[in-house]
Amino acid sequence: MTSPATNVMETEQKPLKSGFGPETTAEEALAGRDLRGKVVIVTGGHGGIGLETTRVLSNAGAAVVVGARDLKKAQGAVSKLKNAIVLPLDLSSPSSIDQFSGAFLKSHPTLDILINNAGIMATPLTRDSRGYEMQFATNHLGHFQLTARLWKALVNAEDSRVVTLSSAGHRFAGVELKDPNFTTRPYDKWVAYGQSKTANSLFSVGLDRRGKEHHVRAFAVHPGRILGTDLVRHMTDDDLKNAGVYRENGVLKSSISGIKSIEQGAATTVWCAVSPQLHGKGGVYCADCDISELVPDDSQNPSGARRWAIDPSIAKALWALSEQLTDLMWPN
């Protein structure tokens, strides 16, 4: 008997001309959909674009579970939102991931939408308890393990989506499969960040290939350039200056165009999570509420997907490495 997966066309890394754009807000991307009865997890859903994602989806009726390392801060942020609760989650800790997943599954047999939103950027060289470089461990391996632990609930939903936040920063570096943790090569915080964001995109490619026969589809998202979030907390003044950002009376501002608001920054996440335009599609890198175009590897334009971030063969190799590093075999 032919597997259902062989009957599904690969989604082209090509814009759909969705009718949305960089100025679309999360509310506009939702387009008034009623999400009552849907169950959603948003990692880091208590700050920045994660909080806006939680707000929009919970206001639409979804039951949202926020995974957060700082429980007190997260509870304060979501306390006034409808249908949102917080569970402790540290993506750099395998035991914390297992505890979060176990607590969720005790009361939720299905999971309709998993949004792998949390992340860190441009940190000094730090390692987790296993010795893994922290950006790769948190941004990619943590979400890889989390999704595996929640896999049964995603399959049980029979029509679920996994949205993982990548970044235009994937253009900084591919994944160095022989040394992802910088044990032999010099550490560069931006190369490490780029590697982790490329891994987020490749994870979506690999996950979609495994998930589509179970009606689980996966998408990678570039939210856009956004000021005023915790993601910039490790950036030095020189980093900010090089990015065209400066402080005025303690507030971050930009000297270049194209900066998005929090509401606009959450739009592509919401669009990928709920839009009927993506029905039957998956395994693609998206931005500005559309599938991004594939651009040459040497493109100087921050927009678009680089080949190394969507290549199926690299995704397959990264998947095998991720299983090895997390000491898990993906469930059937």
Interatomic CA distance for residues 195 and 175, integer angstroms:
5
Indicate the burial class of 93 (C-beta count within 10 angstroms; 0-12, 13-18, 19 or more): buried
Residue 158: left (phi > 0), alpha (psi -120 to 50), or beta? left
Which residue among 132, 187, 193, 285 is the active-site one? 193
The H or E element that residue 252 is part of is strand 251-254
Interatomic CA distance for residues 261 and 267, integer angstroms:
10
CB 44 within 8 A of CB 68: yes
The H or E element that residue 259 is part of is strand 259-260
The H or E element that residue 267 is part of is helix 267-274
Interatomic CA distance for residues 1 and 182, integer angstroms:
45
Interatomic CA distance for residues 322 and 328, integer angstroms:
8
Interatomic CA distance for residues 150 and 86, integer angstroms:
17
CB neighbours of residue 317 within 10 Å: 15
CB 211 within 8 A of CB 232: no
Catalytic site includes residue 193: yes
What is the maximum span of the chain, computed from C-alpha positions, in angstroms? 66
Interatomic CA distance for residues 205 and 201, integer angstroms:
7
CB neighbours of residue 289 within 10 Å: 27
CB neighbours of residue 307 within 10 Å: 13
Strand partners, 251: 248
DSSP state of 130: T
Q: Which residues are the active-site residues?
A: 193
